[in-house]
Amino acid sequence: MTLTQLRYVLAVIDHGGFGRAAEHCHVTQPTMSAQIKKLEDELAVLLFERTGAGVHVTPVGQQIVQCARALIEQAQAIKSVARGSGGLPAGSVRLGVVPSAAPALLTTAIRAVREKFDGLKIDLQEGSPVDLIAQLKNYEIDLIIGPTPTEEPGLRWLPLFWEPYIVSCHGSDATKDYSRQSFLESGIPSYLLDEGGAVEIFANGGTTNLGVGLQDHLAWKSERAGNVASIATLNALLCSSECVVIAPFTATLMIAGTGVSRMRLGSPNVGRTLGFVWRTSYPWTPRCYDIYDIVHANLPDGVVALEKFGQAQITLGLKDGSSDRDQRTKHARISAHSA
């Protein structure tokens, strides 16, 4: 069994077939097929089910693929050390970010990371929290900036910031407080950008997780509010019709401001927490703290920065799924922009 054979297997999965995988790996398709067949013979298992409709990974193949990704990652770590990179991954870091926060973070925190680690390529990928966690566990991305994951063994989560959900509407329709009841009684069309993750309230210097989704918290029926998938669509709706839109604070930074009133959602303040997530098996875990430190120091204005964890608080090889979120006790700053 060789790393090349394992890379071929992963390429077939990542590119959806032998032809595109061979092209990506710069080898002929017969060469790739022969190497994968040799690996299957050595392991005495079938990794792929080949049908007229395409190539499908077998159940045992799924398990082997997980191990293969981890081995390839470790091999890349060895190369990084050999090249004197000081522990940074060779080539690039694959960073997943929830779409609503990506634009604000790109111009602040992610820019600062790129400036600090000159030559390190950051491959940015957007996705829902559920999809990003799945990709992280499948070794398809390396780090995530997103909501608190459910208690997942083998993942590390460190707090970055809390941000409120903001209600945006035009002119005189704005009220001082948009509560659950006011939405139920209002006849104004409402649109919601909700990427998942539990609702939280911020009070007395800390956050409390309500354990429900935003729509559940607002007690909306499905017909009372439309879920919108993009910030651009929210912006277009607000500019073209009489409506209210609800989105996390960082997303509202991208919404046109002419004649738009903004207010927090509910009292106490309803919001979400975003943090920094990676696998505890990630070979560059010590460097993850350096990136985390830079991101934390360069958060967008208007969010509530949560207490930063020190490097000594990062436990390598954590497997019990324990969470850092219960230890958050204070915030660093609140910008007037979030009021």
CA distance linking residue 13 with residue 142, whole number of Å: 18
Question: Among 48-57, 243-252, 286-295, which stretch is predicted with the lowest mean pLDDT?
Answer: 48-57
Q: Give me the pLDDT at residue 320, please.
A: 32
Q: Which helix (H) or strand (E) holds 143?
A: strand 143-147
Which of 41-55, 90-104, 298-312 is most confident? 90-104
**Mean pLDDT across 270-287:** 83
CA distance linking residue 219 with residue 193, whole number of Å: 16
List Cα–Cα distances, 278 to 33, 163, 225, 320, in angstroms.
33, 21, 34, 15
Q: What is the pLDDT of residues 24-74, one digit of tens each?
A: 888 888 888 888 888 888 888 888 887 766 778 888 888 888 888 888 777
**Percent of the chain whose predicted confidence (pLDDT) is above 90:** 6
List Cα–Cα distances, 298 to 22, 30, 109, 213, 302, in angstroms.
42, 50, 5, 28, 12
State yes or no: pLDDT of 172 exceeds 60: no
Q: Give me the pLDDT at residue 268, please.
A: 66
**Mean pLDDT across 158-167:** 87
Q: Which helix (H) or strand (E) holds 233?
A: helix 231-240
Q: Tell me the CATH architecture of domain 161-271.
A: 3-Layer(aba) Sandwich (3.40)
Whether 281 contacts 154, CB under 8 Å = yes
The amino acid present at 2, given as its one-letter code, is T
In CATH, the number for domain 92-159+274-338 is 3.40.190.10
Task: Identify the residue with better confidence: 215 or 141.
Answer: 141
Instruction: Name the band, by pLDDT with cuts 50, 70 and 90, for residue 273.
Output: confident
CA distance linking residue 145 with residue 104, whole number of Å: 12
Q: Tell me the CATH architecture of domain 3-82.
A: Orthogonal Bundle (1.10)
Whether 97 contacts 105, CB under 8 Å = yes
Instruction: Name the band, by pLDDT with cuts 50, 70 and 90, for residue 1.
Output: confident
Cis peptide before 59 (omega within 30 of 0): no
| 92-159+274-338 matches 161-271 in fold | yes
Instruction: Name the band, by pLDDT with cuts 50, 70 and 90, for residue 186.
Output: low
Q: Give me the pLDDT at residue 70, please.
A: 80
Q: Domain residue spans in the chain?
A: 3-82, 92-159+274-338, 161-271
State yes or no: pLDDT of 150 exceeds 80: no
Whether 338 contacts 313, CB under 8 Å = no
Closest C-alpha among 201, 207, 192, 338 to residue 263: 338
